[in-house]
Structure 1
Amino acid sequence: MYISVCAHKVWSQQTDHRPRAHLVCHSTADRVPAPTHKSRSAGRDEDEGFRAPRVRVQARQSFQRRSEEASPHTHREMPGERLTVRGPSEVGRFHGAAPPTRVELEIQKNVEKKQEEGRCRRWLRKMCPCCCKGQNSTSRDVTDEVKIVKPSTPELTPATVPTKPTLENDEATELEVFTLSVCSVDLLNSITGQNRVEHHTDLYHGDELIIRRGQTFQIELELNRPFEDGSDKLHLDLKTGPLPMVSKSTHVIVPLVEDLEDECWEAKIVERNGNKIKLSVNSPASAVIGLYSLSVVIGSEKGETSNTYDFDNNIVMLFNPWCEEDTVFLDDEEERKEYVLNDTGRIYYGTEKQIGARTWNFGQFHEGILDACLVISAMINAQDDFGVLIGNWSGDYSNGVSPTAWSSSVEILRKYHSSEGTPVAYGQCWVFSGVTTTVLRCLGIPARSVTNFQSAHDTDVSLTTDVYFDEDMEPIDYLNKDSVWNFHVWNDCWMARPDLPPGYGGWQAVDSTPQETSQGTFRCGPSSLNAIRSGQVYLKHDTPFVFAEVNSDKIYWQKKSDGTFQQFYIEKKAVGHCISTKAVGSDERADITHHYKHQEGSEEERIAVETASRYGSKPDVYAKAKAEDVSVEVNMVGEGPSMGDDAKLSIVLKNLSSQPRQTTLHSQVAVMYYTGVLKATIKKEELPVELLPNEEKTIEWVLLYQEYQNQLVDQAALMLTLCGKVSETQQVLANQTTFRLRTPDISITPLGEAVVGKEMGAKIVFTNPLPRTLKDVVFRVEGLGLQKGHEVVVGEVAGHATVSLTEHFIPTQPGPRKLVACLDCKELTQVHGVADIVVLEQ
């Protein structure tokens, strides 16, 4: 016979967190079925989603009793022998009744006579005093002494003090001393402690033990007595997810061993101090990422006891780019500091000739961000899965925040998490990318925000950007579905790709902006940059789409009289320019175009384009080539035109032949969303041109402020389209150039000494570049380690007027910090500034 003491959780609709204890007796031949309510059994936890303190105790012991009245010739049974006991139907259950919710043992005292105990009974009494104390010698069945009592309401116990079964008399003390139990668990999770420092998680806010997989960590157990190696057994249980399973590695059993080995869950005692032991726990580099609950399971030498102690202690497991066996291992320390540990960065926007930069606070270590990232790690956009952000390119942001007003992921993620999963309004590509960088870096995946200028959006998987004209060389709007965005921002993340052939690991492109669906879901990537560069678009995931964004040719088609279309020009350098990210260790821009494509126009680049096109919807598009002797291009002076001034560009035509050439250039300029969608044409012109042999001619083109002042949309982007036909050769000329009107920066000047705990200030100055009044002007100011993000409402700012603000704050963290400010109003967008502040220790 064995006795099982089980404490089960019973969850009411109000989620009562109190453990309910049940003590039942079982025969070795027939176990009593578990109660009908939810319980935590030894085989499977049926209520895995809850994290309340829990206690499970199962004690099993074979008992041997000799007859007090046996004759001298009777065989004396030793403690290891088994006796026959009452039938299974009578043990632990009574006919016609459900299993008891609580049973207490009441040992009857022998008041008639007291016999002297032999050595076997003394040994048995020592092993289990609650069941073998001086029973009547005429009875050999302990179930005669079982009495059912009504259950009493259990009291809540602290998470660090497991519930124990109640025993009568002074024998509870003897049993507690003999049976090993866990009093408390210390996860050694101090921010400045060994675990957090060695795992590079000391920058995270929060009380959890935050560790990285593939690396040992230490915990300390306080027991009720010293741990004995020979007889005591101990292992750890770690569980993550809503339904932990050993087969899925979401339920992990960590054994206690003498020597730790790589690539497996193990624990080793590394220090003893009285009743305390310190364990060094090893996790494999393939461990599941997430939030784990911890249980300690204690057993005896023969496995006859199984006591489980659950504590309200959580462990957060992250990816480990410092571990060579981890799939996200990055072997450059400076790159790890930049792509994992840097909590600020730069995101680029504008056009290839007018590249703008704005500072973005990723804030992956900020308080509450890790919790949010663990919840939303599978969703960034809200187009189809109620993710973090709602995309909005309409220009109407009245029910939310304008995408250009954001400068930090912290406010977005906090707002999403605090609203229990309500998507935040609104975002566009740079906001999606900034939040994605935060999530990836927070989880331990090296990541960077990447901007592609002249970014194509291929809608028909032709791997080309197609532009259609009618017989009169007018654009056919309903056919021109492909577009070229002034810029588009996505992310690169670093990881191995064991699902692909060797050589395609490393940087992978992922795009969280909802543009096109992939297998029915708004998602894109991961796509290997090596596959994109070589045109291997058949390698997953979504490589054709990313290839077209960075290296598709722009093909111009003209409608013929029979209704078919004829290809009349291929622009081979139209897309994928100045692909940019923040440089490692500085705020400079790093051009990583060579990561995505070979040198433009090189033989390797053309081979990649033609290789990719064979897998597109127009595989024979490069069947014919056409000679050219007249070229046209558009240039701008310096950083280009500014908001409030006339926009001036230069059109350059070159005659490469030894004969004169004549043409008429048709020009039109349209207001454009940065996504490449045209809003309206605001000016058209015809420019007759005569070129002498081998002549180069420059034509100055001007767009007056009065012509565009009431027409602009977000980003202040414009597109100039030129087309014409050479009279002598019938060669068609075509060119499309996008540009933006630059906005002024906000000036931020620190005031006073920057010291932790000491108040300082910053002066913020902005000058309105327009001759008109700005209305509903709002400044957003934030600095990680300096002050929390907040709004400053200014109201109206007159034309060409200057507004000054003074911010006062107390730095909370030492080291290099950035104070960021941005301006939000209907008339101006993408107005921002940053100040670098080095904060000293107090």
Structure 2
Amino acid sequence: MIRRTPNTTGMGPLNLEWINYCFVKNGQKHRTDKYYCMYERNPTLVVRRGFPICFYLKFDREFDMANDSVSFMFKLAETGDANFGNNTMAAVPLKDNPSNGNGHWSAYVMSTDDVDPNVVSVRITPPNNCIVGQWIFDIDTRSGQEAAMFSAKGNPIYILFNPWCPTDEVYLKDDALRDEYVLSEEGLMWRGSHNRQKEVMWKYGQFQKNMLESSFLLLLKIRRLALIHCSDPIKVSRSLSAAVNAPDELGVVQGNWTEDFSGGTAPINWLGSVDILNQYIKTKKPVKYGQCWVYAGVLTTVCRAIGIPCRPVTAYCAAHDTQNSLTIDYLVDDDGKIIEELQTDSIWNYHVWNEVWMARPDLNILDRSWQVIDATPQELSEGQFKCGPASVTAVKNGDIRAPYDTAFVYSEVNADKVYWRYYGISQPMKLLRKDTEAIGKLICTKAVGKWEQENITDNYKYPEKSTEERITMHKALKQNNSIFSRYYLNEDFNEIKFDFELVDDIIVGENFRVAVRITNKGHKDYTVKVILRVDTVDYTGKNGSLVTKVEQQKVVLHDPGSNVEFVQTALTYFDYGNDVKSQNVFNISCLASVVDTDYEYFGQDDFRVRKPDIEFEMHDKPAMSREVRATVKFRNPLPLSLKDGKFFIAGSSLPKTLEIKVGKVSAKKTTSVSFKFTPQFTGKQVISAKFTSKQLQDVDGYLQFMV
């Protein structure tokens, strides 16, 4: 709506009759045409900083550049005390030629209409370092000593970061990268264990209804980031890493790492960010419940919504080093069990964080590169649960003092794993062994333009045991003030080698075997006592219940061809089914001692039985605005019936997540449900589904299709 001061003086100042916001043209130019607010009944313009914005202005008479003066007065809608000094207000005079726009606002006359000379085409360019947020503006006109003012405050404009602008700090120079990390509404994350990974589809939905508005709500109301800092992607991304978690100022997602999810939704049942953010906006309370990949999914949505290139990253065997010692220390009792009550560190089977793309002028790094941010509330940073941005380059080079939280991220992927034999409170501990390859086994993300995994481990660390890797570790140790971190810098030697043998690709419900292979690499025979344990474990590394334990003694010969022995155990579903946790991960551990020596060994590994996949079938060829019928199904792999079964189905063509109940599913039988959806856009689309029941959860699948 335009409010105007009427002109009754004839050839006085120009009177504005209407503004055309050119939603289609601006949406295409700024790659913002998919935002819901751009095409709803009363649309709101969404543009990117550093790019010209097209407007058509209709005046009550022909515009005369020589005698008429037109200025635009922009100010941030979120502030009541906007001023020029902090860049929350800008006066932009209309000129007859363009300027580069870098660092300041500009406006110029593009042309006048051939049919109606009273219509003027103008281009207004926000600076490449403009504060992101919702802007409003007035238009002042002047002719001689007479002036008029017109308010367009009823039609605010969202201005976002601009990965297409070469002078923006978040600039990405490749279209494929921008398509993947800014425009893609669906993606993949990985869970599970390093030796049995689980692919998870996530719907980001950054263009859907309320997503842009909720993203700025988090930034400005929940985190209360000072408006002057909202032009800086470093400060914005750091603030958002705190806004997504609940411990600080009622953020979006409440964490829960137990098996009791009453009063909320189990983390494994979420299909995407849209339902979470909509629930948060509706209730104004933290949404129950989330774990690391849920935080990463929501943070990806929020960053992409405001224009920061972002991707979720999974690190397998990720360390949580609470003491910044660059070691993860395990104390083992005489039963081969980790003494958790004496342990503050942990190794997560996997951890999912985010990377954002930007320059780091605070580190004198002007070239854009990936930075780690993490919304999972693990450790306090500057008194709040937030993490990053930490330069991935700094992590690789061991520059752990570089801001922000680089030491913590470095330890997550580079710490050494150390096993100590614990004999009692008053007894000295024995160093059993150290493992320099156990942490950060694989770091991965979705490949650009492909629905497959990209290994990015080399971005974070040099090859294990390489000269560069050890130099980097020593560099980090020298920057660390912990005496304990310098305690064990020498290499040790083992004459007996232990390796786990785990059968691959076991579906839950099937039997499986675990074994430890003992190899004699010495020059004499050895008698070895072995305790082999199988425990359930959650993905943060916390042990649950004992499934089975085997104690055996073996004589291992030193002769080639006869120098290998095995200790093994076999399990059926009825052995492990009642104990297994929702994500189906076991910890296999081995405590061994060599008779007549003082040598002891301890090792452990993770093992996951996988879930079946949900299958999709399309009954119609997908076409825009046409209803499509589809079916999802899966086979119950368990030797018992599933109760209270239900499917959850989500996709960009579904306005909300579908919940379809199926009730009981008999043992080894297939269940299916049908549904309908109507595509709203052409191009590649994805639909995903989950199945959950009392006996079996975390069953999922997805389907890509063209419209």
Q: What's the TM-score once normalised by structure 2's chain length?
A: 0.90
- Offset at 1:788? 3.5
Could you list the per-position Cα deviations for residues 629-662 of structure 1 after superposition, in whole angstroms to 9, with x for gaps in the alignment? 21212132332x3211223223222222222222
SS of 1:619's equivalent in the other structure is helix
Answer yes or no: is 1:763 the counterpart of 2:631. yes
Match of 1:441 among 298, 304, 327: 304
Structure 2 vs 1, CA of residues 261 and 651 (structure 1 numbering), >3 Å: closer, same or farther? Answer: same
Could you list the per-position Cα deviations for residues 214-257 of structure 1 after superposition, in whole angstroms to 9, with x for gaps in the alignment? 11121122222222223322211111132423222111221222
Bigger radius of gyration, 1 or 2? 1
Match of 1:528 among 361, 385, 391: 391
Answer yes or no: is 1:513 the counterpart of 2:376. yes
**Which residue pairs with 2:138 in the alignment?**
295
- Offset at 1:329? 0.9
Q: 1 CA distance for matches of 2:335 and 2:293?
A: 39
**Which residue pairs with 1:12 in the alignment?**
none
Q: 1 CA distance for matches of 2:504 and 2:422?
A: 38
The RMSD of aligned alpha carbons is: 2.0
Match of 1:348 among 158, 171, 190: 190
Contact 1:450 1:492 in 2 (8 A): yes
**Which residue pairs with 2:546 in the alignment?**
681
Q: Percent identity?
A: 33
Answer yes or no: is 1:386 the counterpart of 2:250. yes
Gaps of 5+ in 1: 1-158, 165-171
Structure 2 vs 1, CA of residues 559 and 821 (structure 1 numbering), >3 Å: closer, same or farther? Answer: closer
Contact 1:580 1:592 in 2 (8 A): yes
Match of 2:475 among 595, 608, 611: 611
Q: 2 CA distance for matches of 1:343 and 1:214?
A: 24
Answer yes or no: is 1:259 the counterpart of 2:97. yes
- Offset at 1:321? 0.9
Could you list the per-position Cα deviations for residues 200-222 of structure 1 after superposition, in whole angstroms to 9, with x for gaps in the alignment? 11222222221111111211222
Structure 2 vs 1, CA of residues 616 and 455 (structure 1 numbering), >3 Å: closer, same or farther? Answer: farther
What letter corresponds to residue 4 of structure 2 in structure 1? P
Q: 2 CA distance for matches of 1:285 and 1:455?
A: 37
Contact 2:498 2:519 in 1 (8 A): yes
Contact 2:5 2:149 in 1 (8 A): no
Match of 2:365 among 495, 498, 502: 502
- Offset at 1:380? 0.9
- Offset at 1:308? 4.8
Q: 2 CA distance for matches of 1:471 and 1:404?
A: 36
What letter corresponds to residue 708 of structure 1 in structure 2? Y
Query: Higher relative contact order by CA 8 Å / sep ≥ 6: 1 or 2?
Result: 2
Give the 5 Å matches for 1:443-458.
443-458=306-321
Q: 2 CA distance for matches of 1:337 and 1:631?
A: 48
Structure 2 vs 1, CA of residues 416 and 176 (structure 1 numbering), >3 Å: closer, same or farther? Answer: farther
**Which residue pairs with 1:338 in the alignment?**
180
Structure 2 vs 1, CA of residues 294 and 404 (structure 1 numbering), >3 Å: closer, same or farther? Answer: same
**Which residue pairs with 1:182 in the alignment?**
16
Structure 2 vs 1, CA of residues 590 and 271 (structure 1 numbering), >3 Å: closer, same or farther? Answer: same
Give the 5 Å matches for 1:327-726.
327-377=169-219, 378=240, 379-419=243-283, 421-470=284-333, 475-502=338-365, 505-559=368-422, 562-614=426-478, 615=480, 617=482, 618-639=484-505, 641-693=506-558, 695-726=563-594
Shifted more, 447-456 versus 602-611: the winner is 602-611
Q: 2 CA distance for matches of 1:824 and 1:473?
A: 35
- Offset at 1:472? 7.5
Q: 1 CA distance for matches of 2:634 and 2:587?
A: 28
Could you list the per-position Cα deviations for residues 79-112 of structure 1 after superposition, in whole angstroms to 9, with x for gaps in the alignment? xxxxxxxxxxxxxxxxxxxxxxxxxxxxxxxxxx
SS of 1:198's equivalent in the other structure is helix
Could you list the per-position Cα deviations for residues 329-384 of structure 1 after superposition, in whole angstroms to 9, with x for gaps in the alignment? 11222111111111111111101110110211111112322122221243111121
Answer yes or no: is 1:213 the counterpart of 2:49. yes
Q: 2 CA distance for matches of 1:282 and 1:188?
A: 15
Match of 1:233 among 59, 66, 69: 69
Contact 2:375 2:387 in 1 (8 A): yes
Contact 1:582 1:590 in 2 (8 A): yes
Contact 2:502 2:607 in 1 (8 A): no
- Offset at 1:759? 2.3
**Which residue pairs with 2:118 in the alignment?**
275
- Offset at 1:319? 1.0
Match of 2:652 among 757, 761, 784: 784
**Which residue pairs with 2:230 in the alignment?**
none
SS of 1:771's equivalent in the other structure is coil
- Offset at 1:285? 1.1
- Offset at 1:628? 1.6
Q: 2 CA distance for matches of 1:376 and 1:712?
A: 37
**Which residue pairs with 1:13 in the alignment?**
none
Shifted more, 686-695 versus 346-355: the winner is 686-695
SS of 2:302's equivalent in the other structure is helix
Could you list the per-position Cα deviations for residues 769-799 of structure 1 after superposition, in whole angstroms to 9, with x for gaps in the alignment? 1122222222111121256421111222222
Contact 1:526 1:541 in 2 (8 A): yes
- Offset at 1:825? 2.3
Q: 2 CA distance for matches of 1:713 and 1:476?
A: 20
What letter corresponds to residue 354 of structure 1 in structure 2? R
SS of 2:468's equivalent in the other structure is helix
Contact 1:648 1:701 in 2 (8 A): yes
- Offset at 1:729? 4.3
Match of 1:309 among 122, 145, 151: 151
- Offset at 1:390? 1.0
SS of 1:736's equivalent in the other structure is strand
Contact 2:4 2:148 in 1 (8 A): no
SS of 1:541's equivalent in the other structure is coil
Q: What's the TM-score once normalised by structure 1's chain length?
A: 0.76
SS of 2:598's equivalent in the other structure is coil
Answer yes or no: is 1:738 the counterpart of 2:606. yes
Contact 2:336 2:531 in 1 (8 A): no
What letter corresponds to residue 29 of structure 2 in structure 1? E
Q: 2 CA distance for matches of 1:376 and 1:176?
A: 49
Q: 1 CA distance for matches of 2:360 and 2:435?
A: 34
Contact 1:756 1:814 in 2 (8 A): yes
Could you list the per-position Cα deviations for residues 454-497 of structure 1 after superposition, in whole angstroms to 9, with x for gaps in the alignment? 11111211121111235776533321221111111111111111
Match of 1:795 among 645, 649, 663: 663
**Which residue pairs with 2:222 in the alignment?**
none
Contact 1:505 1:528 in 2 (8 A): no
Structure 2 vs 1, CA of residues 592 and 623 (structure 1 numbering), >3 Å: closer, same or farther? Answer: closer
Shifted more, 678-687 versus 400-409: the winner is 678-687
Contact 1:221 1:276 in 2 (8 A): yes
Contact 1:749 1:762 in 2 (8 A): yes
Structure 2 vs 1, CA of residues 248 and 687 (structure 1 numbering), >3 Å: closer, same or farther? Answer: farther
Q: 1 CA distance for matches of 2:481 and 2:354?
A: 24
Contact 1:750 1:837 in 2 (8 A): no
SS of 2:591's equivalent in the other structure is strand
Shifted more, 408-417 versus 255-264: the winner is 255-264
Contact 2:109 2:122 in 1 (8 A): yes
What letter corresponds to residue 79 of structure 2 in structure 1? P
Q: 2 CA distance for matches of 1:372 and 1:470?
A: 50
SS of 2:360's equivalent in the other structure is coil
Contact 1:404 1:824 in 2 (8 A): no
- Offset at 1:434? 0.9
Contact 1:787 1:810 in 2 (8 A): no
What letter corresponds to residue 54 of structure 2 in structure 1? Q
Contact 2:275 2:656 in 1 (8 A): no
Q: 2 CA distance for matches of 1:163 and 1:503?
A: 48
Q: 1 CA distance for matches of 2:70 and 2:311?
A: 43
Q: 1 CA distance for matches of 2:414 and 2:553?
A: 33
